[in-house]
Amino acid sequence: LAYWDITQEQIERIEQTGEVTKRLTLVSPVDGIVVEKNVLQGQQVMPGMRLYRVADLSSVWAEGDVFEQDLQFVRVGSQAHIEVAAYPGQHLMGRVSFVYPTVDQASRTNRVRVTVPNPGLRLKPGMYTTIYFDVERPDVIAVPAQAVVVTGQRNLVFVRDAEGVLNPVDVVLGVRAGDRVQILSGLVEGQTVVAAANFLVDAESRLATTGSAMPGMEHGGAATPAKPPKPKADTMRMDTMRMEHRHD
């Protein structure tokens, strides 16, 4: 009887009375909420049939996908802010409890799991959330992402010198935050780079120009200084993450 999850109290009662009852009360081995009911009163059941599913919703899982290049900033124990459409403007706190071991080949993302305390059971299974991670980083050189010309073999930024001549400079890219991208090498703070919005040529003509008119070319458009971003704490955002629940 104990193997069938009959409580010790019920077993002792049968031993004391010697009576075999046709009815037994099945007690859930865990505290929680019934999230799935597969039987009705009076229905015949078979061995192995799932009757109910009980979930402990005192804490829940929020799962989402992090871009491959951002994985370096997310690890088990990292703090996360959770925002749910049902409670706009309210941020709930959680921590990364698991980072999945594989990267999705199509999206180049890695799934992470955030465990979120759920007092009052306000978070419901199936809710969609937005997850924010606060990342502390030192000041870095950054330029508008559209200022970088990606040829497939080189990453180029056009730097304007004192005479107004545009010179292509090879750069090594770091992480991207919003509309700016980190420059690991190739530029120094204070140099002026041409933003794509003011350098009106498409990618193909830029490549042709790079091959024919280098080392420099005249251009009078507006430019953007290379500079580190103002805040030291960047925020990575993952939209429309599906809330999952944890159960036994």
Q: What is the pLDDT of residues 62-104, one digit of tens each?
A: 999 999 888 888 999 999 999 998 998 888 999 999 999 999 9
Question: Phi/psi at 16 (nearest 5 deg)?
Answer: -75, -40
Scanning the structure block, which residue is given the tokens 């990618």? 203
pTM above 0.75, yes or no: no
Domain co-membership, 65 together with 126? yes
Same-domain check for residues 132 and 164: no
If asked whether residues 146 and 122 sit together in one domain, one would say: no
Number of domains in the chain: 3
Same domain, 178 and 71: no
Asked if 105 and 41 sit in the same domain, the reply is no
Do 82 and 116 share a domain, yes or no? yes
In terms of C-beta density within 10 A (0-12 exposed, 13-18 middle, 19 or more buried), how is residue 207 classed?
Answer: middle
What percent of the chain clears pLDDT 90, i.e. is strictly above it? 25
- Radius of gyration of the chain from its Cα atoms, rounded to whole angstroms: 29
| CA angle centred on 213, ends 208 and 216, rounded to 5° | 125
DSSP 35-54: EEE---TT----TT---EEE
Same domain assignment for residues 88 and 198? no
What is the extent of the structural domain holding 149? 142-229
Same domain, 83 and 102: yes
| 165: CB partners within 8 A, 6+ apart | 216, 217, 218
DSSP assigned state of 15:
H
Residue 147 three-state SS: helix
> Quick one: 148 and 201 in the same domain?
yes
Q: For residue 104, what pLDDT is reported?
A: 94
Residue, of 151 and 136, whose pLDDT is higher? 151
